[in-house]
Amino acid sequence: MRAVTALRGEYPLELLLRVSGMSRSTYYHRAGSLRRREEGRREDALIAEAFSGSGGEYGCRKVAAVLERRGVRMNFKTVNRRMRSMGLVCTYRRKRRRRSGGGAGHAPNLLDRKFGASAPLEKLVTDVTEMRVLGGGRLYLSSIMDLHSNMVLAHSVSRSNSWEMVGEMLERLERRWGVPRGVMIHSDRGGLYRCREYLRFAREHGVVRSMSGRGSCYDNAVIESHFSNLKGRLGRLDRVPADKAAEMIDEAVRYFNEERILLKLGGLSPAEFLREYEKRQERGRKSAGDI
């Protein structure tokens, strides 16, 4: 079969088939099977590349979305079957319920699990998560995310779970994006979001405060899910020194903002989605100016 294919450029196919004793239908059947196997191997390589590029995090739907961005359309069920045959199974993380405090400084749950936003800097969610590092130490990550694009607008990493860490994150938010009056910032009921410094920040900037119900992590599910996915990408930080772990966290946040696609955003990353939004807004302003 391979010899016939290799010699087709030099001799007529009829002559080659007669010499080899192969019928025309058998030749085309085998040629088609060979072509499909080669295409399958190329597609498997693309699937494996997309999966490994996500750090083993993407499931079949996101892998299919990555392939489509590269010009290869494939049903996610087919991708799922191929991934299973290659032993590519994404990591599933168990959700944890967290209990948080109450008392003075609390605010009503104005967000009420409405996790959509029509424009940037309309609804923000914030939280702190803990990570163990080499030597039994801990690092704390404070992040604030925009529900319009799921972009982490600012974050800070600290060895202590303190207001200084949250304050640094809010300063970075203000320097980079600003804090428009009337923006909603949703958090849990932790003491960091009920302390006088946070209350002063909210009052001075006209922030509308919203808080999850007591012990209800689902009221802040978007950023809880982000932290879970982030930790899955980072892996075992308890084998990494604190300074190196902090660098890895910064890089992971950058990856989630600029490269990691979200199906809810049409297969775009948060940064890509925000750029597309800004382009639409600019076109709208130009059209309004032409009228």
Sequential pLDDT tens for the chain (291 residues): 556 566 565 667 676 666 666 776 776 666 667 677 778 788 888 888 888 888 888 888 988 898 888 888 888 898 888 888 888 887 666 555 555 444 568 899 999 999 999 999 999 999 999 999 998 899 999 999 999 999 999 999 999 999 999 999 999 999 999 999 999 999 999 999 999 999 999 999 999 999 999 888 899 999 999 999 999 999 989 999 999 999 999 999 999 999 999 999 999 999 999 999 999 999 988 887 766
Handedness of CA 227, 233, 236, 242 (dihedral sign): negative
Handedness of CA 159, 160, 161, 166 (dihedral sign): negative
Burial of 270 (0-12, 13-18, 19+ CB in 10 A): buried
Per-residue confidence (pLDDT) for residue 119, from 0 to 100:
96
Per-residue confidence (pLDDT) for residue 181, from 0 to 100:
96
Contacts of 243 (CB under 8 A, 6+ apart): none
- The predicted-structure confidence for 1-15, as pLDDT tens digits, reads as follows 556 566 565 667 676
Measure CA 240 to chain center. Answer: 23
Torsion, Cα of 253, 255, 260, 262 (10° steps): 30
- The predicted-structure confidence for 161-183, as pLDDT tens digits, reads as follows 999 999 999 999 999 999 999 99
Per-residue confidence (pLDDT) for residue 105, from 0 to 100:
83
Distance CA 165, CA 159 (A): 9
Per-residue confidence (pLDDT) for residue 102, from 0 to 100:
45
pTM: 0.72
Per-residue confidence (pLDDT) for residue 10, from 0 to 100:
66
